[in-house]
Amino acid sequence: MIGVFDSGYGGLTVLKGFLEKLPDYDYLYLGDSARAPYGNKSLKVIYDYTRQAVDFLFSRGAVLIILACNTASAKALRRIQQEWLPDHYPDRRVLGVVIPLAEAAADVSRWGRIGVIGTRATVESRVFDQELHKLNPKLKVIEKACPLLVPLVEEGWVRKPETRSILKKYVLPLKSAAIDTLILGCTHYPFLKNDIARIMGKNCRVLDAPAIVAGKLADYLVRHPEIESRLSRKQARSFSTTDDPERFRTFGEDFLGRRIGEVLTVDLKE
């Protein structure tokens, strides 16, 4: 089973990419909506929350976990991989979404001017800036924190004019900076991709983050048969949330375009 973790609903965008690219595998999704957003929280809190989520997913049978949350990928992934995983689940793996997006942006950028929008924690970590400059030191990276977008998506305000107005204020400075490629550095932001692309205009490519991450996962499974061979293939999909299960189910079914059945409510607190 493949576990997919996000601070709330945003990881559903990544899961949808997986279901389109790799539909045969079993997936277990966990959204920590009760404690979202993660982007305004301290490093310790983000790590503790992420570790609790990873432990939950492994205890339910996941062999491989994708941290669909960019904040968790930026702030907790490395420590979990290096310190926690070897002592608790040495035969399992946890992957993030930052490096796949950085690699894709570096590959497609025409003029070497890349923009990143993300939560405050992700932007302040400078993880995208660091990963992009590892790939190409000459790149110009311009980042913008957009702390209001996650709560707006979680509230179902994607199509509200107020959201479009706030979004415009966030991304217009990046358009003025003449970036040619934009990374949506939060899994909630693909819900707003069409509006973002409209604002940025035809001279800026807004990356399709879910498709990119799904493609990278497919590559990873080919390169790591020792993990792939242990993944169950019954096309099962299970969903868990730390908040209102009915609200999650309604949102999830609307976005995924399919029934998702019962949503389990979990408490991740230790």
Catalytic residues: 69, 186
Strands of the sheet containing 113-118, edge to edge, are 140-145, 113-118, 181-185, 205-206
DSSP 22: -
- Whether 14 and 66 have beta carbons less than 8 Å apart is answered as yes
**Distance in angstroms (rounded) separating the CA atoms of residues 139 and 133:** 6
Q: Whole-angstrom Cα distance, residue 218 to residue 228?
A: 10
Asked if 113 and 142 touch (Cβ cutoff 8 Å), the reply is: yes
Q: What is the signed CA dihedral for 57, 62, 68, 71, rounded to 10 degrees?
A: 50
Distance CA 270, CA 239 (A): 21
Query: What is the H or E stretch that residue 93 is in?
Result: strand 93-95
- Non-local (6+) Cβ contacts of 103 within 8 A are 135, 216
